[in-house]
Amino acid sequence: MHPFVYLRLIILTAGTLLPLFWLVVILGHRRQRNFERVFFFLCLALIFFFGASLFALNAQLYYTTVPPFLGIFSWTVLCLGLWFLPSLLVHLHVEYAQIRELLAGSSEKRWWLALAYLPAALLLPWLYDALKLRSGFDFLLPSDRLGWPFQIWVIAALLISAGWQRRFMKAAPGGEQKRFHRWLHIDLASMALWIPAIHLFLHRSGGIFDQNAAMYSALVAFMVVLPLAMLIRNVQKFNFLQIGRQRNLIYAVFVTFLALLYLSLVRRTSLWLDPYLPPEATAAILLFLPVVFFEPLQRLMRGILRRTAQTEMDHAQRMMAPIQEIARLGNLGKLAAFIENWIGDELQLAEVKLSLGSRGEGESGQKPSEEIFVIRQSGQSLGTLRVRAHGAMLSGETAAALEFLCEQLPGALDLCRLIEEKLQLERELAERERLALLGQMAASISHNLKNPLGSIKTILQVQMESPQLPESIRGETKMVLDEIGRLSLKLNQLLQFSRPAVRGGVVRATCDAQAVAEEVSGVLRHEAERRGVVLEVEVAADRTKLAASSEAVSEILSNLVVNALEATARGGLVKVSGSANGGGFSFAVEDDGPGVPESVREKILQPFFTTKTQGTGLGLAIVVRRVTEFGGKLDWESPVKDGKGTRFHVSMPVEDAGR
């Protein structure tokens, strides 16, 4: 048998096994992306082409005359695989261009896909003519039977793909990817030149081509197989296409294929040595021969696994340094978000979600292709790290790195919590100092202004009683008295806010919830009528005794109702309700005003913050302070209904009946 026939056997076998290898990897990887789907069908077409060629060549070597059925079957499978190869090749490059963001948009992609599949549809009559053949098959140059239009389409598809590879080479982020795309560009361009050279020149040279037809066909097949072999190296070493992180999948498929190749070699060698040794003896010798290599292979694999594990552990340790830096900022939410993004980027995972505390334990069960790593400290669970790989599962070294990170994360989380608590205490201390300073200033201002204002008010009141005072001046004097009254009210608010909170004896005071609410409504009903607002009061008449003084509860309700009246337009409604709530009592003050704007939601309870043209910004701050003095709780919501309204809830303790 001619040496080139052996060469062709080897290349066709490699051309069948390499696409099959990638077919198994894609099925095991199971990444839901169009690129992998198109690559799967491209590999399937290559298996059809190379497998049918290998099947036909083995039939020619085994049979003196190839049975017609085998010839027709091989030719049909080969033609179908070859027919879709150029379209799938262009489609694959278009999908990769979309991943690299080299397409302008979906319209450009649709244009390229139409270009990829339209020629195959237009040339279907030539495929039909080729499939009708029952003899005269050309397995060396099958494109001759598919017609010259198909040959032109094959060359055009190769040139288009070579052009895309040139663009990928320029846009590649690293040197290794640039080199890979450069080799693919050269390989595709060489095939685009070599195929017409064979058909146009060597095919017409008669005897020269007929003698070396197997060599030329093998060279073309080698050019097709070479990129698939190069892709294995790039995936394994540089994680090309994000498959390399699943090294366990790559290794498992690779070892399986080596075993299949060795079994094929055993069978082939048994046939070659049939004249000298019985096939059973040859097979037995070759099957037991790998036992000699078990110890060297074990040492080799131990070294490889040790280096791989050490590399991943070093990588995981380096990953902890930025996490510790972010932890020192004392922001647990920011740290959790950084951990998710950082681990996802560094370990090239599709999704990472960090859940801390009971929130992580109470979440729904494990999702498909998701793995859960528990973060523990001293035997207690602090949370979970849920990760999902791009493919079907995590590789062994990635899982080991995640387990190591979960062992190190408790230290970073504790550091972040301690710094966060320290910063919170510092902020609270600074706020207390600021409020104490403001209180002292407010007390000083109020003390210095109240006496002069009182004197001015007394003088004006005396003037108002004089019958000789002109009516024009009397009206202006009344306005001044009203303004002095309003100013005195603001000074009283400042004095109340500046008073220190006293918890001891005040908490023991009690009051009737309904009586206080009716008193407040009676005082403010005139103000509500003046503004044209309806004031409704619905407080349960169960004589509930609140564990707070009537003065404090009155101040709380007054401030809330005044704010509600000022926020409600004429014709609106302000409703005050109260009822027992479990072991306490709850007041609710609701208005149908415009609601609290989104931009000020976080500030409305802060002292001296107001959106009113005439206001001190102390009303709600005083409410918060008085509610806190008696162990109550203040909540609010806005909007309440139809995008409008605000409702404040005040939960107050009640008197202990057993006391």
- Single out the residue in 212, 239, 266 at which a domain terminates: 239
Residue that wins the pLDDT comparison between 520 and 436: 520
Percent of the chain with pLDDT over 70: 82
Q: Could you tell me if 92 and 204 lie in one domain?
A: yes
CA Rg value for the chain: 42
Residue 504 pLDDT level (bands cut at 50, 70, 90): very low
Query: H-helix or E-strand containing 344?
Result: helix 332-346
Average pLDDT value for the chain: 79
Q: Residue 186's beta-bridge partner residues?
A: none
Looking at residue 86, what is its pLDDT? 94
Q: Are residues 468 and 561 in the same domain?
A: no
Other beta carbons within 10 Å of 363: 13
Q: Higher pLDDT residue, 262 or 578?
A: 578
Between 76-90, 242-256, 405-419, 503-517, the lowest mean confidence (pLDDT) is in 242-256
User: Residues 322-349: what's their mean pLDDT?
Assistant: 86
Specify the pLDDT at position 512.
Answer: 87
Residue type, 565: L
The confidence score (pLDDT) of residue 93 equals 92
pLDDT of res. 490: 67
Among residues 214, 239, 264, the one where a domain terminates is 239
| 203 within a domain of the structure (yes/no) | yes
Q: In terms of domains, do 402 and 551 share one? A: no
424 and 439 share one domain: no
Residue 327 vs residue 28, higher pLDDT: 327
CATH at residue 569: 3.30.565.10
Residue 591 identity (one-letter amino acid):
D
CATH of the domain at 72: 1.20.1070.10
Residue 117, pLDDT above cutoff 70: yes
Place of tokens 């004031």: 535
Three-state SS string across 386-438, please? EEECCCCCCCHHHHHHHHHHHHHHHHHHHHHHHHHHHHHHHHHHHHHHHHHHH
Query: Which pLDDT score, from 0 to 100, does residue 382 have?
Result: 85
- Position 314 scores a pLDDT of 78
Which has more pLDDT, 437 or 58? 58
Q: Partners of 355 in the beta sheet? A: 384
Over residues 218-222, the mean pLDDT reads 76
pLDDT in tens, 589-607: 999 888 888 777 777 776 6
Query: Residue 334 is which amino acid?
Result: K
| Cα gap 388→297, rounded to integer Å | 33
- How far apart are the C-alpha atoms of 454 and 58, rounded to whole Å? 117
Which of the residue ranges 336-350, 388-402, 486-500, 642-656 would you say has the lowest mean pLDDT? 486-500
Which residues are bridge partners to 376 per DSSP? Answer: 381
Pair (30, 164) in one structural domain: yes
259 in a structural domain:
no
- Regarding whether 491 and 585 lie in a shared domain, the answer is no
Statement to judge: residues 84 and 158 lie in one domain: yes
Check whether residue 466 and residue 597 sit in a common domain.
no
Higher pLDDT, 158 or 392: 158
Least confident stretch, 72-81, 143-152, 284-293, 346-355:
284-293
Strand order in the sheet with 351-356: 351-356, 380-388, 370-377
DSSP state of 583: T
Q: What's the CA gap between 199 and 510, in Å, rounded?
A: 106
Give the separation between CA 552 and CA 650, rounded to whole angstroms: 12
Residue 132 has pLDDT above 60, yes or no: yes
Q: Which pLDDT score is estimated for 239?
A: 59
96 and 228 belong to one structural domain: yes
Asked whether residue 60 is assigned to any structural domain, the reply reads yes
Residue 441 identity: M
Predicted confidence at residue 554, as pLDDT, reads 84
Token pair, residue 262, equals 């060795």
Q: Are both 551 and 446 inside the same structural domain? A: no
DSSP 8-state assignment for residue 587:
E
Q: Which residue has the higher pLDDT, 62 or 71?
A: 71
Name residue 134's amino acid: R
CB 608 within 8 A of CB 556: no
Residue 21 and residue 39 in contact, taking contact as beta carbons nearer than 8 Å:
no
The number of folded domains in the chain is 4
Contact 100, 168 (CB under 8 A): yes
Query: 659 pLDDT band (50/70/90 cuts)?
Result: very low
Res 155: pLDDT: 92
Residue 402 in this model has a pLDDT that exceeds 50: yes
Considering the domain architecture, whether residues 183 and 91 belong to the same structural domain is answered as yes
Task: Find out whether 97 and 164 touch, Cβ atoms under 8 Å.
Answer: yes
Q: Is 627 left (phi over 0), alpha (psi -120 to 50) or beta?
A: alpha
Q: Which of 352, 338, 353, 360 is nearest to 389 (CA)?
A: 352
- Tell me which H or E stretch contains 590: strand 584-591
Classify residue 227 by burial, with Cβ atoms within 10 Å: 0-12, 13-18, 19+: middle
Question: What's the rounded mean pLDDT across residues 497-508?
Answer: 52
18, 52, 300, 495 from 78: Cα distances, Å: 17, 5, 41, 96
Asked if residue 267 belongs to a domain, the reply is no
DSSP assigned state of 654: B
Task: State yes or no: pLDDT of 638 exceeds 50.
Answer: yes
CATH number at residue 386: 3.30.450.40
Each residue's pLDDT tens digit, 535-547:
888 888 777 888 8
Confidence of residue 320 (pLDDT cuts 50, 70, 90): confident
Q: Report pLDDT digits (tens) over 80-110.
A: 999 999 999 999 999 989 888 888 888 888 9
> For residue 560, how many C-alpha atoms fall within 13 Å in the half-sphere facing its CB?
30
Q: Is residue 511 part of a domain?
A: yes
What is the Cα–Cα distance from 490 to 497, expressed in whole angstroms? Answer: 11
H runs (alpha helix) in 34-132: 34-62, 68-99, 106-122, 124-131
For residue 551, is it within any domain? yes
Of 401, 428, 455, the last residue of a domain is: 428
Burial label, 59 (beta-carbon count in 10 A; 0-12, 13-18, 19+):
middle
Q: How far apart are CA 260 and CA 269, in angstroms?
A: 14
Q: Is residue 213 over pLDDT 70?
A: no
Look at residue 493 in the predicted model and tell me its pLDDT: 64
CA–CA gap between residue 436 and residue 499 (Å, rounded): 9
Q: What pLDDT is recorded for position 84?
A: 92
Range of the domain at 217: 3-239
How far apart (Å, rounded) are the C-alpha atoms in residues 94 and 35?
9
- Using 50, 70 and 90 to split pLDDT, how confident is the model at 391? low
In a domain? residue 289: no
What's the pLDDT at 508?
Answer: 65
The verdict on residue 336 lying in a domain is yes
What is the mean predicted confidence (pLDDT) over 426-448? 73
Residue 506, pLDDT score? 43
In this structure, are 422 and 437 located in the same domain?
A: no
